[in-house]
Structure formats: structure tokens, C-alpha cells
Structure 1
Amino acid sequence: MFKFLAIVILFVYATPLCAYNILGIFPHLGKSHFDAFRPLMKGLAQKGHSVTVMSHFPLTRPFQNYRDIDLGGKNQVFIDVVDIKQEDPSSRLKKILNVWMLADSANLSCEVGLSSSAVQNFLKTEEQFDVMIVEFFNSDCFLGLVQKVKAPVIGITSGTMMPWNSKRFANPTHTAYIPNNNMDYSDSMTFLERLENTVVTLYHEIYYEYVVVSRDERVSERYLGVEPGRIRDFIRNSSLLLTNSHFSLTLPRPLVPNVVEIGGLHIEKTKSVPEFKPSDV
């Protein structure tokens, strides 16, 4: 009996713990995006991982193993920016030029977040993390923190992949049947629609690469001390992309092994439907 207990105790203490120190970075000022990420971060904390979340939307109640770093942009969050019910003759052009609006909102998020006392104080700490989970949407300026943290990067999206995210993972994007998510096409396009889809996608990719990322590099250099050109290195070295999408709703497309659909991950436990009683009629 003593030998058995000794073996059990030895096994327990010799088994390495599987808890990780995880840093989540979600600098976008849109709350709807963070609402898709919060359940994941809380779920990781519930599993015993130590989770630090950098965002503009801290929890209102303490949560075990979950720590907020408030970026302090509550007064600048995006509410009712786009009226999805509004249609006008220029709406098609707005979809094509949507990358401009995304770039402007990204620049605001970068300036507000990276200049915050929370980020500047974080830079002075000696904390170490095993992995970084970063939103891949309309900016990469916060990837400059990789220079300090030196941990693998997992990207995550609140919806389908933006046109510029496929290239960084070498994920195929055939514009003949894979519509740009800024447009309203299906996977059955006419010749002219395919032509427009191709031109718009190329325009978005080029604009993001040479305007947005270049601006991200300047902002990261100013606030984080990141060396010129390093942001692009961090982008190329990203390990995995989790997309909040599913082929049954967003059309099937080829995905490389390090791009994984996790559609519905943000849906928390549902409540049971109340039992129907004839007396209720």
C-alpha cells in the first residue's frame, strides 16, 4: 500500500503542469469584435490558464485567472458607425473604399492604445508569456509587442478573413469563386463580377500592405521602440489563425492547416426553452 501511494505521489509531482501564461491583445475600439473574443479568453481562464487581456472593455466583475489591462479608450469606442439598413446609389463604392474607413479606425486604435499609460507601464514589466492571441483585423501595430514578449503569435478574427490576412499564411484566395468579404458576392459570379472582385481584392491588399502596415511600423517605432521593418517580420512569423466563420454560412473555400474555422466559439451556454402549457394561451 505504501509503495502504491509513493508511486501515485511521484506521478502527480513529476507530471508537468499544462497551464500557460496567455496574453490576449484586442485593441480595436469596436465592442462587437471583443464580444466574440471574451468567451474564448474566459474559457481559457476557466481551464486553469493564466490569462491577461489587453483591450478597451475590461470585465465588470472579477474572474478567476483573468486579468485586464484597460487601454482606456471607452470614450472613443465605435457605436453606430455604420447603418446597415441604409442603402444609397453610392453604397457599392463605399464597399470598395471601405478599406479607407478601416484604416482610419485602425490608426485611431493604434494611437489611443499604444500611447496609453497601460501599455507604457506594461513595457516596463518583466512579465513572460507562453503565447500571444492577437486580433487580425485592420491593423498590426500591436504586433510590435512581440519584440518585448517574444512568444508565438496566434491570430484571431471576429468574422471572415480580411483580404490581406490570407497572404501572411500562404492561404489560397482564388477571386474567381472566393468573394471579397467587403463585397456582397456569392461564389457564383458573372465574368464582370469576377473581374471587379479581383480588382477590388488586389486594391485592398496593396493599400493595406503599403499604407496601413507602413503606418503601423511608424506608430510602433514611436511608442514601442520597434525597429523599422520588424512588424512585417512578426506578421510573417504568425503561427496560426482562428477565424470566427464556418463554411456552411460563409461559403466553402480552401484553408491551409494553420487557418482554422472556429465559427460559433463565442456562443455561450444557451438557456432552455420554457415549457409550453395550454394555460398560457
Structure 2
Amino acid sequence: MKLITLFVVVAALTGNVAGVLPPAERSYKILMLLPVSAKSHWNMFMAIAEVLADRGHKIVMITNHPKVSTHPNIHEIHHELRHMKLPDMFNKGKEMSGGLSAFRDFLPAMFRDLYKLPSVKHLYEKRKEFDLIIVNHMFNEFHRVPCCPQIMYPFVHELPFITIATIAMDHRQSAVLGNVLNPSYAPNSLVGYRCPLSLWQRVKNTVIHSWLPFYWRKWAIVPLLQKEISAQFPDLPPLMDIERNQSLTLMNSHFSITTPVPLLPSQVEVGAIHCRPAKPLPQVL
């Protein structure tokens, strides 16, 4: 069932480009989790949700954005929590940590409040009714640091799930999947170097490549979240164990415009798949 569901999702997305995909054989229930997302990341998720909904699949989304879709097959749940406030995020970005301290402050608090919401609690109890769960892997386009999808991992335990990396390749996530990229030629998204890298760029890239996962996963962020999640879900396995069970990652990148890197079959580049023909301007501006 897991493989069939994943095939349906990928086929639906590629079919939007090719336009030659036959009708879906059945309707699947798909849950999209993006409780902390910048507007640009939400745009990509909504484009994918609409393609799947057009093919008859039932989509439920947990977002931090007000409801806008009028599609009958898309149900949006706006949690209305205000932990991630854009002015605060910009101010945090001026700190020496580059904004990482903001996540340490608000993510644990958001997790505590999120699972207290009646709509989220109800959806969590019904999570096994979904055929597939899609999780937002990243957000915060201001500094291009990894999001913490771990706050939604209680939903995906023992269920098929995929992630969408909206800002392309994340070295940390790639390593979790088993594809460790070489920092001598694969620039980290924080630095944005162009190949070939100079000696100094390789040194800096290697330091960031090693420091960021340690800071995020071992020191500052994930341990705090693990403590909060274990308090509410004592029977849940460690978050890092759940993370390794993701079946597929869709990356908003393409080798023609980014650095070509080796990929696993479970890492699929879908850069610009959310782009659609421009709508005509209104006659009265």
C-alpha cells in the first residue's frame, strides 16, 4: 500500500507537467502538515495539493496561513498560533547565531500549544485513516536554515510519509536518508557558493556542513523538542528514529540550475513544479 500510494503522488505531480496521465483509479486521503511555514513554502504545498485534489484525492492541510482554497477536495485547518512572528524572525536574524536561537525559543512552546488545539487533537486521533502524510521539511526563507519537522513526527509514526524540501537540497536530511554529500564540491544552502569552490570556501563549507547538524540535532533544538514530545507521547520512539522512516523526499531543485549532486532513488528533484501559467490581470486595477 505504501509503494502504491507514493507512486500515485509522484505520478500525479509529473502528470501535471506532461498532461498525459490517465485518471486515478481511486481516491486517496492525504494529510499535509505545514504548521510553521513561510508564504513561499505554503505556495508550493498549495500547488501540489490542488493538483492532487483535481485528480480526485482528498486533501487535509494543517497550516499557519488563513484558508484561501475554494477547491471542494481541500480542507485547510488554520491553527492560528502566533509563535512565529515575521518581525521577530527578522530581528533574530541580526544576532550572531544567524537566527537559530529563534527556533530554540519558539518551537518547544509551539509544540506544547499545537497539540492542545481541539482540531489538531481530533486529526491526530484520526491520522491512521490517511493513506499518506506529507510533511514540510523546511521553512524560514530569511536565513535558509532547516525547519524542524520533528514537531509533527507524532503524526507519522508507523505511517507512510514523505517530505517536501522547499528550498532544495538539505545536506542534513540527505545524510539521514543515507546520502552523505561531500562538502568539497556540494555547497551548503547557508553559503550558496558556486562551483568550483576555492580552498577557503571548502574549509568554510566543511565547518558549516558539520556544525549545523550538531547544533540543531544534538545540542540546541532537537533535545528540547524530544523532551517536550516525550512528555506528551511517552510511548513514541525517538524522533531521529522516526525521521529515518520517510519514504520519499521531493526537492524544489533541478540540476540544470543548481550544483549537480548524486541522489538516491528516494530523492526526487521537482524544481519549479509549482509554477503555473500567469493569470490575466483584472481589467480594473
User: Which range is displaced more, 100-109 or 24-33?
Assistant: 100-109
Residue in 2 aligned with 1:207? 215
1:79 maps to 2:86: yes
1:221 aligns with 2:222: no
TM-score (norm 2): 0.76
CA distance, structure 1, for counterparts of residue 68 and residue 128 of structure 2: 24
Residue 192 (structure 2) pairs with residue 184 (structure 1): yes
Question: Greater CA deviation, 177-186 or 246-255?
Answer: 246-255
Q: Percent identity?
A: 24
Give, as a single letter, the amino acid of the residue that structure 2 aligns with 1:79.
L
Deviations 1:26-47 (A, max 9, x none): 1214222212211101211111
Greater RCO (Cα-Cα under 8 Å, separation 6 or more): 1
2:77 paired with 1:69:
yes
Where does 1:1-281 land on structure 2 (aligned, <5 Å)? 17-73=25-81, 75-79=82-86, 81-82=89-90, 94=96, 97-104=98-105, 106-107=107-108, 109-125=110-126, 128-137=129-138, 138-139=147-148, 140-147=150-157, 150-211=158-219, 212-223=221-232, 225-227=233-235, 229-271=237-279
Task: Give secondary structure in 2 for the equivalent of 1:255.
Answer: coil
Displaced runs of 4 or more, over 6 A:
none
Change (3 A) 1:257 1:127: closer
Secondary structure at the aligned position of 2:129 is classed as coil
Partners in 1 of 2:122 and 2:36 — Cα distance?
A: 20
**Unaligned stretches of 5+ in structure 2?**
1-23, 139-146
Root-mean-square deviation over aligned CA pairs: 2.9
**Structure with larger Rg:** 1
Q: Identify if the C-alpha distance between structure 1 residues 249 and 19 changes in structure 2 by more than 3 Å, giving closer, same or farther.
A: same
Q: Is the 8 A contact 2:47 2:274 kept in 1?
A: yes
Distance 1:45 1:124 in 2: 23
Deviates more, 1:37-46 or 1:244-253: 244-253
Unaligned runs of 5+ in 1: 1-15, 274-281
What does the per-residue CA deviation read over 1:105-130, in whole Å, with 9 as the maximum and x for residues that have no partner? Answer: 54454344333332123234476011
Residue type of the partner of 1:265? Answer: I
Deviation at 1:271, TM superposition (A): 4.0
Please give the TM-score of this superposition, normalised by the length of structure 1: 0.77
2:122 is aligned with what amino acid? N
Alignment deviations for residues 142-192 of structure 1 (CA, whole Å, 9 cap, x no partner)? 111123xx4211010111233321111112311001111011322222112
Residues 23 and 182 of structure 1: is their aligned pair in 2 closer, same or farther, counting only changes over 3 Å? Answer: same
